[in-house]
Amino acid sequence: MKYLWFPLAAAMPLLLSYCDQAESRGDVSFAKSTFESLARGEEGVRDRIDWTTLNSLGQNVGLAYVQVPSETEKVNFEKAFVSQFSASFREAGGSPDQFGNWRVSHHDDLKTEVAADSAGGTVTITVTERDGKERVSGLGFIR
């Protein structure tokens, strides 16, 4: 029985590494589908965003969001953000199909940063987990 401990101990880092890779692939898929839905202006994407901590293109959207007094106004805030993000994205000539090379650019215990490239630059999407649910808490763009 004691001889089984050594192979098990040797295999643990590999198993943990595999779990991290699988989790990271899930984060990439989640970030990509959320970004594409947001760029298209799909209202259902609102549930995939962590509104209270959202940072978008250098703006602390979460700070403005938590100051909104009522639930009805928060829903209107969310809808307006999705609509305006999509409109601005399209007006700038953007299309979700222009982005490729989706990958994890940073991962730690608190968040995963996913990046994707286009001819115009790189989009970064921060994925965090709160209340047992993945959500986007950051959007950035690097030229």
pLDDT of residue 8: 37
- Position 21: which residue type? Q
pTM across the whole model: 0.82
Query: What phi and psi, each to the nearest 5 degrees, are found at residue 95?
Result: -145, 135
Q: What percent of the chain is predicted at pLDDT more than 70?
A: 83
pLDDT of residue 23: 53
Is pLDDT larger for residue 31 or for residue 10? Answer: 31
Read off the pLDDT of each residue in 16-29 and give the average, rounded to a whole number.
Answer: 62
**Topology of the domain comprising 2-142:** Nuclear Transport Factor 2; Chain: A, (3.10.450)
Strands (E) located in the chain? 55-56, 59-60, 100-107, 111-118, 121-130, 133-142
Q: What's the pLDDT tens digit per position in 96-131?
A: 999 999 999 999 999 999 999 999 999 999 999 988
Residue recorded with tokens 């953007």? 94
10 pLDDT more than 50: no
Q: Answer yes or no: is pLDDT of 69 > 60.
A: yes
Domain boundaries, the chain: 2-142
Q: To the nearest whole number, what is the mean pLDDT of the chain?
A: 87
Least reliable range by pLDDT among 14-28, 39-53, 64-78: 14-28
pLDDT given at position 7: 39
Residue 24: pLDDT band (50, 70, 90) is low
* Statement: residue 6 has pLDDT above 80: no
